[in-house]
Structure 1
Amino acid sequence: MPKVKTNSGAKKRFRFTGTGKIKRHHAYHNHILTKKTKKQKRNLLHQTMVDHSDVRQVRDLLCLR
């Protein structure tokens, strides 16, 4: 049986907290920033947790099931 490979894109996009939750970056902070407010851009800088409905899918991509 072949080795199970981690999805290369996922390992660059997600990190784990000490308690095992999965962190992610906000989207919409790469381009077309001139029409977004300072507050919106500032809030997009911070990381957030992956929603509980998506955790299973992300863990599958990272081969952690």
Structure 2
Amino acid sequence: MPKMKTHSGAKKRFKISGSGKVVRERTNLRHLLEGKSSRRVRRLQVDAVAAPADAKKIKRLLAK
């Protein structure tokens, strides 16, 4: 059976941490930033761990 290809959209959005968790960026940080407080923008800059329910699907898209 052929190798499974990596999903191009998923590889741009997610990465696997050293411990095997799926890491993602937070939303609401692309535009309209003037209306958001500095505190909120700084908090949104920190990467988040994807929910365990989604992690299994994401790892499959990443062919891991």
Pairwise TM-score range, normalised by the shorter structure: 0.7 to 0.9
Match in the other structure for 1:23: 23
For structure 1, the residue ranges without an aligned partner over 5 or more in a row are: none
Quote the Cα distance in structure 1 between the aligned partners of 2:2 and 2:16: 26
Q: Aligned pair in 2 of structure 1 residues 18, 2: CA closer, same or farther (>3 Å)?
A: closer
- With structure 1 as the length reference, what TM-score do the two structures score? 0.85
Paired with 1:18 and 1:53, the residues of 2 have a C-alpha distance of 19
Counterpart of 2:35? 35
Give RMSD over aligned pairs.
1.3
Question: What does residue 46 of structure 1 align with?
Answer: 46
Question: Residue 13 of structure 1 corresponds to which residue in structure 2?
Answer: 13
Of stretches 43-52 and 10-19 in structure 1, the one that deviates more from structure 2 is 10-19
Query: Normalized per residue, which structure has more helix?
Result: 2
Moved more, 54-63 or 2-11: 2-11
Q: Distance in 1 between matches of 2:51 and 2:38?
A: 25
Q: TM-score, normalised by structure 2?
A: 0.86
Runs of 4+ in 1 over 6 A off after TM superposition: none
